[in-house]
Amino acid sequence: MSFSSRSRQPSFYGLTPSQRPLHVRVGKKEISILISNDHWGSAEQLREEFNQSSLIESLNTEDLTKIELTAHFLKFITERADQDDIQSFYPLVLIVFEHLRERYLKKNDVHAATRGLPTEARNVVIRAYFTALASLNRETEFDLSQYQNSPSALFTAAKNNKASLFAVFGGQGANEDYFNEFVEVYSVYESIIAPYVEAMSQIIRDLSVSEFGKSVHPKPLDILGWLKNPESLPDSQYLIWGPVSLPVIGL
């Protein structure tokens, strides 16, 4: 599937005859996104579904910011498009994605642009950003190369022999909260790291139930199962045990 230039997010310096603003309001916060007439019907449908979703009831509307509202709306329409593979919704995902980038991120890296936000709000924006980006990359033929991060200045300097790199091994640590940190990372970046985590978790699990693995691990290292079913997570003493914490932290 390819998008024409009319599907691209237009400039906010003025309307054209083929565009009109879609107003999305939650509590006292309202955002306006320019939508082309080609996609207006789908945009209205998604806005109504968003307003009637259970998500709205869970939001703290008093502290809700416009960037958070935009991110929530973006994630909602992305998941709605993916849910039934509705191709007519993907141009809207792109429009709202570019609105988020241009209006709030100022086309900067999402991590840098959101570093001043509270942690929860920052995670909402980053999660929505990568959920939409992964979906567009998977379901459309739109050229997403413009959204790739710039190369690391440090690695570039090292490659050009202008800087040196060295590694310091400090052990895997025994922080009892390390798995909670893993859960948070997975919840924010699931859309882009899930395939890797699923594949590596299966390898680690298979090794833990092998003949040798059973001699070390009294029960399988089911990392993906622990992520999906928190009630199955072993106690902290088991998690910080070296044969468990080393492969999990390494993952």
Following DSSP, what letter does each residue of the chain receive, concatenated?
----GGGSPPPTT---TTEEEEEEEETTEEEEEEEEGGGHHHHHHHHHHHHTSHHHHHS-TTT--HHHHHHHHHHHHHHHHHHHT-GGGHHHHHHHHHHIIIIISTTS-HHHHTTTS-HHHHHHHHHHHHHHHHHHHHH-----GGGSPPPPHHHHHHHTTSS------------TTHHHHHHHHHHHHHHHHHHHHHHHHHHHHHHHTSHHHHHH-SS---HHHHHH-GGGPPPHHHHTSHHHHHHHHH-
Q: Give the separation between CA 32 and CA 12, rounded to whole angstroms.
A: 10
Please count the residues of the chain: 251
Q: Give the separation between CA 105 and CA 126, rounded to whole angstroms.
A: 11
- Spans of all domains in the chain: 19-147, 177-250
Which range in 119-123, 141-145, 165-169 is most confidently predicted, on average pLDDT?
A: 119-123
Class of domain 19-147: mainly alpha
High-pLDDT (> 70) share of the chain, %: 90
pLDDT higher than threshold 60 for residue 32:
yes
6 confidence band (pLDDT: 50, 70, 90): very low
Q: Please check whether residue 100 is in contact with residue 70, taking contact to mean a CB–CB distance below 8 angstroms.
A: yes
Query: Residue 16's pLDDT is what?
Result: 61
Query: Residue 17's pLDDT is what?
Result: 65
Q: Tens digit of pLDDT for each residue in 180-237? A: 989 999 999 999 999 999 999 999 999 999 989 888 888 889 999 999 998 999 988 8
High-pLDDT (> 90) share of the chain, %: 57
pLDDT higher than threshold 70 for residue 12:
no
Query: Residue 214's pLDDT is what?
Result: 87
177 confidence band (pLDDT: 50, 70, 90): confident
Q: Once rounded to an integer, what is the mean pLDDT over residues 137-154?
A: 76
Long-range contacts (CB closer than 8 Å, 24 or more residues apart) made by 244-251: 244/217, 245/172, 245/173, 245/174, 245/178, 246/172, 247/204, 247/221, 248/178, 248/179, 248/182, 248/204, 248/221, 248/223, 249/172, 249/173, 249/178, 250/172, 251/182, 251/197, 251/200, 251/201, 251/204, 251/223
Query: Residue 251's pLDDT is what?
Result: 83
Q: Tens digit of pLDDT for each residue in 70-114? A: 999 999 999 999 988 888 899 999 999 999 999 999 988 899 999
Q: Give the separation between CA 95 and CA 98, rounded to whole angstroms.
A: 5
How many CA atoms lie within 13 Å of 65's alpha carbon, on the beta-carbon side? Answer: 14
Query: Residue 186's pLDDT is what?
Result: 93
Q: Once rounded to an integer, what is the mean pLDDT over residues 146-168?
A: 83
Q: Once rounded to an integer, what is the mean pLDDT over residues 164-179?
A: 75
